[in-house]
Chains A and B, each alone.
Chain A
Amino acid sequence: MSITQILFWFLSVVALFSALMVISSKNPIYSVLWLIVTFFSISGHYILLNAQFLAIVNIIVYAGAIMVLFLFVIMLMNLNKETEPPKNRWLKMAGAVAGGCLLLVLVAALKDTDIKQQHALVNEGNIGLIKNLGKELFTTYVVPFEISSILFLSAMVGAVVIGKKE
């Protein structure tokens, strides 16, 4: 095994384990912290694919900003095991059925794709570097890029309007 492979298996194990811990921890604070670990291991995978910009932005935006807001909300609401109301049995069953349906759809959708024949470029390919990514974004994909930026702007204006005092 080369070092890349060792790293790949290590990161995969960490990512899956921490993702499982997110949904199985009783304390919501622990869930958020495990989610941060998941984001870091996914960033590690991006770096293995030489998508450096994506890796860094994933950490800045998700681990550094969004998760902080999650922690804010959970710390201020002081959610603990004791304060969590016990869930209805029917609610649990409905959740299991809904989750199973989603799994079925995902498996059915991905079963026949030709992703198995495509190999990921590990440690090579420089499309993930910022120079190439920027060129690609502002030439080939400029219309979707601008539309998504307008979407963000409208979300920002909406947040300000909602957050404003009467």
Chain B
Amino acid sequence: MIMTLIAVDWWLILEKGVLIGGIIGLSFFIAMYTTYAERKVAAWLQDRRGPNRAGPFGILQPLADGGKLFFKEEIIPLASNRFLFILGPALAMITALLTSTVIPWATPFVTKGGSVIPMQVADVDMGILLVFSIVSVGVYGIMIGGWASNNKFSLIAAIRGASQMVSYELPMGLALIAVLFLTGSLKMSEIVTNQVQHGWHIIYQPLGFLIFFICALAECNRTPFDLPEAENELNFGYHQEYSSMKLGFYLFAEYINMFISSAVMVTLYFGGYDIPFVNETSWGLNSFWMSFLSFSVIMTKIAFFLFVFLWIRWTIPRFRYDQLMNLGWKKLIPLALVNMIITAAVILLLNK
């Protein structure tokens, strides 16, 4: 048994291990500095200065916040369900990080020996559907945490959050189907190559992108859809009983979700790592610089979307619960269906 395990291609495992470690590290780093950016953007919009004490421009503020969360006292309520209370934040974190597996981060890197290393953890045949399945499982982190706290406010917040996420998955999936009509494949790598060849999907699918973006806001529990953490109605929401790093995991998972959903939106609608208006393959760069350049391009696009997320949070007030459900079921789903039918009809007409 040990012998067969040794027969595994160790280089592949090492390569994927490095890639996975890199992506997880990157997600944590981006999430940390998104909290900083959030406070700076909020300060800018409200004509304040924001955090400016720790380090130059307050750049060490996230480290100070993280340190504070680690050293706080760990409180588990007596009447809570101990195991599930710990499982909740762990699940939220795991599902937030798992989604990054299928996103192509850069053009493939070719080594001197001629072997090609794709900058993507797994290019599975199901691609985008895998992202969907993980997102649909992401509900449990909130639900289990809220229920295990044994607190009415947490439970109400958890149920709100779960019903919101389940409702907004439907228009998200319907908007996505129109994209899949254009590419004819679920593979993330093929979705990107299709956009490199035929132009970004945002040109063909502006309505679909709008629906997808609204649903992404709702899936990340961001304003105007942050009903699960509506302070004036539910105290602090589903993580009210949490303290120390378990609270930190919930808050961090939200920022990682924002990062990953920006990456998914960029990959689906904004060409992934493609540089607009130019044909970068004709520049004759070697593969290292090519990968580096395309990686910087995708990160720039993601940074822009993260800014839009923050901008919306500090601009738009929160929806009421019935307005949220009305928008999801009575407006977005019919709109997404119409978008899907029109796309299908146009594709059929052009093919004939």
Contact = CB atoms under 8 A, between A and B. Distances in A.
Interface of A: 1-3, 6, 29, 33, 36, 52-53, 56-57, 59-60, 63-65, 68, 71-72, 75-76, 129-130
Contacts of A36: 140
Nearest to B132: A60
Given A59-B133, A65-B136, A3 B143 contact: no
A56 B166 CA distance: 17
A75 B155 contact: yes
Contacts of B143: 68, 71, 75
Contacts of A71: 140, 143, 147, 162
A117 B129 CA distance: 34
Given A3-B4, A3-B8, A64 B133 contact: yes
Given A72-B162, A76-B159, A56 B137 contact: no
B222 to A, nearest CB: 21
Interface residues of B, number: 27
Contacts of A65: 136, 166
B5 interface: yes
Report whether over half of chain B's contact residues are helix, strand or loop; otherwise say mixed. helix
Going nearest first, the 10 A-B pairs with the smallest beta carbon separation are A64-B136, A59-B133, A60-B133, A56-B129, A56-B126, A56-B133, A52-B126, A60-B136, A1-B1, A75-B147
Contact of A64 (B137, B147, B158): B137
A11 B118 CA distance: 29
B186 interface: yes
A68 B139 contact: yes
Interface in B101-125: 124-125
Contacts of A33: 84, 144
A6 B163 CA distance: 38
A29 B140 CA distance: 12
B139 A130 contact: no
A81 to B, nearest CB: 12
Contacts of B126: 52-53, 56, 130
B30 interface: no
A53 B170 CA distance: 18
